Amino acid sequence: MTGGGGFIGSHLAGRLLRDGYEVRVLDNFATGRRENLLDIWDDIELVEGDMQSYERVHNAVRGCQVVAHLAALPSVPRSVQDPLTSNATNVTGTLNVLLAARDADVGRLIYSSSSSVYGANPDLPKREEQPTLPISPYAVAKLAGEGYCRAFFDVFGLETVALRFFNVFGPGQDPLSQYAAVIPRFITSLLDGKPPTIYGDGEQSRDFTYVDNVLDGVTRALSTPGNGGKVFNVATGHGVTLNELARLLAEIIGSDIEPVYEQARPGEVRHSEADVARAREAFGFEPAISIEDGLARTVESFERKAPTPAE
């Protein structure tokens, strides 16, 4: 698997080990962290390197039956600031992974795409057959990866499956990066007694998806044949506004702090909510953990890691 040092990747590596897989991880740790893998360090094979190097990727996938391609340079704002680097990692890197998987006779490849590919399309819920209208360079790059996956299935017979993740959250997500996702930022602010920052009016909505739901989708896609060249949403199927999210977290934490509002950021979509019927029918995907339960688990994990105040 690529990107095993990342938030989702490290959770997936642990899940695959528990499911009986032998796991080899490729990561350059540009955004992933070694500490994410400490609990399973002795159980995985680590190949450290950049997926922009075909040779490094080929060495990593050689002998593997399936590949989970999760490595990416995430964040819409980051891609707006630096489109070239976003493209080099998310498009050229993905092409290298596909080429290496083809050349190593890998049986199946799962590609982590993004709900951002729907972009400016206003229709809700988001269904896989809808037109894609990506706004940000990140979304364009993710859509390009989907196109390459479909081409490698049609032309080379590599069984590729693209999964569109919707706003994944859970324990271990980094709240400190300037590109941190909204939920770890909100939790950290509230635990520190500070108001969370919302960009825009807060009425934009997202299909926030607890990480264990995503792991279930990935492992089912990995083990289910017959979906080559197809695309699937992996989400909960429910949209929540950022204002609602802030209220839910404040209730869980027991805080009465109100959010503060700043100017909306470019490249962000207004609403996002998935239809997961296609994944349910194809490989039995069912999001078992609600956003309320997922938020409670995530807050608990952040509280356990919070430093104890000095007496």
Q: Give catalytic residue positions.
A: 138
Q: Are 58 and 100 in contact (CB under 8 A)?
A: yes
Rounded to whole angstroms, how far apart are CA atoms 12 and 8? 6
CA angle centred on 297, ends 164 and 168, rounded to 5°: 15
Cα-Cα end-to-end distance for the chain: 45
What's the Cα-to-Cα distance from 52 to each of 55, 84, 164, 236, rounded to whole Å?
9, 13, 22, 33
